[in-house]
């Protein structure tokens, strides 16, 4: 094997590694970039004396377990649209 042939094989191997790393990096970025950054609305909120509340509970039981032993109470998330209704967008009235 000549030095030139060895160098060509080495160069092919290095460029193949770079291509594999680039594809893997692209796949990782694509996988993490597909989830929208939207806050999920949960149906139940933990409320305290002051503050907006903590609406991250799927069930009333989860919320009540969270407030157990501390001051606070649970209530339905009134900002959440019922499951059978989607928020309607009002059309701007043109004059």
pLDDT, tens digit (0-9, with 9 covering 90-100), for 46-64: 998 777 788 999 999 999 9
Question: What is the reported pTM?
Answer: 0.44
DSSP state letters, 42-94: PSEEEE-SSSS-EEEESSHHHHHHHHTTSS-EEEE-TTSPPTT--PPPPPPPP
pLDDT digits (tens, 9 = 90+) for 58-91: 999 999 999 998 888 999 988 877 666 555 555 5
């Amino acid at each position: 094997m000549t030095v030139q042939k060895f160098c060509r094989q080495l160069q092919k191997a290095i460029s193949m590694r770079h291509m594999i790393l680039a594809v893997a990096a692209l796949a990782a970025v694509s996988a993490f970039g597909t989830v929208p950054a939207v806050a999920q609305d949960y149906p139940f909120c933990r409320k305290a004396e002051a503050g907006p509340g903590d609406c991250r509970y799927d069930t009333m039981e989860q919320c009540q377990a969270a407030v157990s032993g501390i001051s606070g109470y649970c209530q339905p998330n009134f900002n959440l649209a019922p499951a059978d209704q989607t928020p309607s967008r009002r059309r701007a009235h043109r004059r």
